[in-house]
Structure 1
């Protein structure tokens, strides 16, 4: 995975610089998400990576599958990636692009897994606290996992806050066993 990220980073930076210069971050985000979904589909990838497929045929199949959802610049980008035999890197390119977009827009998507359903008021209060701590506009995506017993686990980027009862019990158990 580290190698794929290394390969994807220059493409993502170039796409981001172009999109930012044109003021089209949202459009490029959508186009790269589509390209990543196509490149990440196992059946479509198996079709594209057949030894008999030329780069032109791969690009044509990709554009056919994408329909009219790719702009001219988006098509040029995908064609360039295909010419360099890097279509498999499109999901990583899209992921890095999204990180760069979130940094530029000062936003963060936060995944909150709680033991019980959170009310809208609780989600807003948590979003406010996290926005103050992270210095970003926060979007909370909540889900329920009753195995946590109580509390919640909060994830955003590489930050994880485990305030669950299950996590605290596991930490206590590790301390007692050492």
Structure 2
């Protein structure tokens, strides 16, 4: 159900931003709002609390964000409050951002290695990924995980390219387990 809620409200905000021609501005505001909510979890708990009236929630949001967010985003927040969906704001903002990235052809990449990569290695990974994908830009996330032992695991969207020693050992172990003596 939460996925449906985030899609419905996230699509509404995304469509409005496209219609108004201000996707970049709305996206920046969404990032700001997401950061504020992530940095202040009690704020979400207060605004979405069942004992908090919709009027008080709206007043609090206006005091906090009026002048910092556009009228469209403020109106969007008011709709979410009126519909009793402010508790779903994180998933709605996440959905909006994923749609904006799809629209802008920005791929989110997770590169897992046992040690850090040099700048030259990072540039080579980016270059190769741009060559073999439809994305115009990439949001790179580098993760160090010593358990992979060697090699590299790259996750781009729902695709995973796993060339780690950890995976190869796991594959060998499975193959050996199937041998009957």
Rg larger in 1 or in 2?
2
Q: Same fold (TM over 0.5)?
A: yes
Distance 1:50 1:100 in 2: 28
Q: 2:84 — aligned with what?
A: 85
Retained in 2: the 8 A contact 1:150–1:166? yes
Structure 1: gaps of 5 or more residues: none
Deviations 1:33-71 (A, max 9, x none): 333445555322332233431111112222333353211
Distance 1:142 1:48 in 2: 35
Structure 2: gaps of 5 or more residues: none
Distance 1:46 1:88 in 2: 8
Distance 1:70 1:23 in 2: 16
TM-score, length basis structure 2 = 0.85
Q: 2:19 — aligned with what?
A: 21
Deviations 1:78-129 (A, max 9, x none): 0001111111222112222122212211121212111122112211111121
Distance 1:103 1:47 in 2: 32
Q: 2:62 — aligned with what?
A: 63
Distance 1:146 1:162 in 2: 15
Change (3 A) 1:131 1:17: same
TM-score, length basis structure 1 = 0.87
Equivalenced residues, count:
176
> 166-175 or 79-88: which moved more?
166-175
Distance 1:141 1:77 in 2: 30
